[in-house]
A and B are shown apart, each in its own frame.
Chain A
Amino acid sequence: MDNLLAGLELLARWDVLFALLVGSIGGVIIGAIPGVGPAVAIAILLPATFSMDPIVGLTMLLGIYGSSMYGGAIPAVLINTPGTAVNALTSYDGYPMTERGEAHRAVSLAYSASFWGGMFGIVCLILLSPVLAKIAPMFGSREIFLAALLGIILVILAHRGQIFAAGMLAMFGIFLQTIGLDAVTYTQRYTFEMTFLTSGINLIVVVLGLFALSQAFFLLTAPDEKPEAKPVIGKMSAGFKELLKHKRVATVASGFGVILGMIPGTGEFTAQFMSYTYAQKTSSTPEEFGKGSPEGLIASEAANNAVPAAAMIPLLALGIPGEALTAMMLSVFYVHNVIPGPQLFQNNIDLVYGLYIALLVLNIMVICFLMFSTNILTKIIRIPTRFLGVMILVLSLVGVYSLRNSLTDCMIGAAFGVFGLILKRLNLPIVPIILGMVLGGIMEVKLRSALPRLKTPLDMIDRPIAFIIFVMIIVVLALHIRTLIKEYRARQPQEDNAIHDSQTR
């Protein structure tokens, strides 16, 4: 309780509340515009938050992260184009509802399910905190190394059908973070005697290139479109009543969101698919799924909105990000010398609770905002896509150039932008590169600090938590091989050559 009050005190500042308001409303707007997405927005805003207090900068980014999926549901339901990549499943049932004249019902249901998922995630986070505070100190260098390794393996395996590509890109990310002067031996690694490579390749520059600039290039080279969404008439709070009829689906879906959000590398997509499958299997009308089933819509939205709170768990407790957005937020912690990990719970517990409460307030702010702003947002959706591309390109400069006013950074960012565009056009994932960079760095540091205590390789897993993580790694790999064999025996996969931009914005 004292910790909660301390967290509340940390938030009771005008600048924090303002940052939260800007972040949450900005997040909804960004989420509602197809083609932007929270990763682009967070990447652009990151350097601007470095000059702010950690709690101010973090609440703003958290606001964008937590609220973008609310906004993303609007175009998913109204024009069959998910605003953010994780709203893809929402359009499966949301759009058919719009087509049969139930747009108001679908949008209000999406809002209420999102709110349910968001709040469920935060309550779980708060309830889990005392347990985390006890477990986190048991994580030493070996355990964090193994957890990061598990994260890398899961990130690769989560990209079903693209495991080789995800593997090579994750390894590329690990390689990128080794470039520069080695911090321990002061020897050069892959600098090719070029001075600008001595300090290494900056994560933010890579993130901005891969997410923001590549999206700008993608929009600038694609045919111009101007999505049209019709206004929605009716009270937005109506969805809450209907949601209560499906509270089992909403709660289980939120549960999937929390569990999968905690596991690095899995996140919203897996949570959505699992909860959608669960909802369909247990529904009395499974044939309605994909044709405008409210249960399908609820399962999808509740699951993806429960993830942000859960994704904060590995980030705060172990310093291990599970996906690209939390990886970006990790850099804000580092810039302010607040190192997430076991010690955060001992030294900065007020910050941890402050972030929890910020998430809580954010969900309330967003739902209040959405109650009257839906029709304004349907107008914002109509921005022509190439115009949006120009604006993302212009905004990307703020992110890259304001870091250290370096033209070289801009060139590296532009090169990663072109690389990111190629990946997007090829349906290849971007996230493994970012997580490879972040988790690769963590693995290198933690393995080095664990080495003096390792006499034999078995010493790596001679502590209970380390052994449990090791068993998890083995189980994950074994399960994957089993699934591969099953799929291989079952049927030939279908050809699919369309562009899928999941996990790329």
Chain B
Amino acid sequence: MSRIKTLQSLFKRYRRPGDIVFAWFFFVLSIGLLTQITDQTAYRAGSSMMAQPRFWPAVSLVGMCFFAALHLVGSILSERIEGRWKEVILWLSVIEFAAWFVGYAYVVPIIGYLPATVLVSLLLVVRVGYRSRTILFSAVGVAIIIVLLFKTFLQVKMPAGQFYDSLPDGLRQIMLIYF
């Protein structure tokens, strides 16, 4: 018991709820990737070990397994912190915002950068609970400024929206180039 207690003191620091879930996840991921090493990397006969294409994936994955195992031992030996599954549910809930981001990227080539940015900003501020007119107008304003700064002024590569093709001639040209 005393041995475990002293080990605990060596391992246990700055922990938060859900630590052990992540420690298990990362350990299983590392082991899983390491088991694939012969399938996913090649071995060139005649080359030295360090010149093998397999060398660096092997070094990093063995290192990952080693440190992940120690991290897991640390988590197992530490006292349980309440709220583990509540924390995991919060991690999973973030997938919704990740989907918003991917959805935003998906609609840009369809409706165009400016309309997509204004729409997403507006919908997202409503989604996170804002209802005041000031915030809604600010969201639209900042969205327009972002488009003006990056697309109009800095000319970053953003695809033109298919929707722009249906606009009248003069306006279409402006929208295609600047928005």
Contact = CB atoms under 8 A, between A and B. Distances in A.
Interface of A: 47-48, 51, 161-162, 164-165, 167-168, 170-172, 174-175, 178, 182, 184-185, 187-192, 213, 216-217, 220-221, 224, 384, 386-387, 389-391, 393-398, 400-402, 404-405, 407, 410-411, 413-415, 417-418, 421-422, 425-428, 436, 440, 443-444, 447-448, 451, 484, 488, 492-493, 495-497, 499-500
Contacts of A436: 60
Contact of A178 (B56, B109, B138): B56
Contacts of A213: 98, 101
A220 B150 contact: no
A426 B90 contact: no
A418 B95 contact: yes
A168 B71 contact: yes
A221 B14 CA distance: 21
B40 A394 contact: no
A394 B100 CA distance: 10
Contacts of B108: 397, 401
A451 B40 contact: no
18 contacts: A164-B67, A164-B71, A167-B66, A171-B63, A188-B41, A217-B94, A393-B124, A395-B146, A402-B150, A404-B157, A407-B105, A413-B101, A414-B101, A417-B94, A418-B95, A426-B16, A451-B51, A493-B13
B13 A162 contact: yes
A386 B33 contact: no
Interface stretch (B42-50, B161-169, B170-178): B42-50
Contacts of B121: 390-391, 394
Given A425-B91, A451-B48, A188 B40 contact: yes
A421 B95 CA distance: 11
Contacts of B48: 451
A224 B60 contact: no
A410 B17 CA distance: 29
Given A398-B150, A405-B157, A427 B67 contact: no
Contacts of A488: 6, 9-10
A400 B154 contact: no
A315 B120 CA distance: 39
B83 to A, nearest CB: 9
Range of interface residues on B (Cβ < 8 Å): 35 or more
A4 B125 CA distance: 50
Interface of B: 6, 9-19, 22, 26, 30, 33, 36, 40-42, 44, 48, 50-51, 53-54, 56-57, 59-61, 63-64, 66-68, 70-71, 74, 79, 81, 87, 90-91, 93-95, 97-102, 104-106, 108-109, 117, 120-121, 124-125, 128-130, 135, 138-139, 142-143, 146, 150, 154-159
4 tightest Cβ-Cβ pairs between the two chains A and B? A167-B67, A161-B13, A171-B63, A168-B67
Contact of A390 (B18, B33, B66, B139): B139
A484 B146 CA distance: 49
B104 A394 contact: yes
Contacts of B157: 402, 404-405
Given A402-B156, A492-B9, A171 B142 contact: no
A397 to B, nearest CB: 6
B150 A48 contact: yes
Contacts of A411: 102
A171 B67 contact: yes
Contact of B53 (A187, A389, A421): A187
B66 to A, nearest CB: 8
Residue with the highest number of chain A CB atoms closer than 10 Å, among B15, B50, B60, B155: B60
B67 A496 contact: no
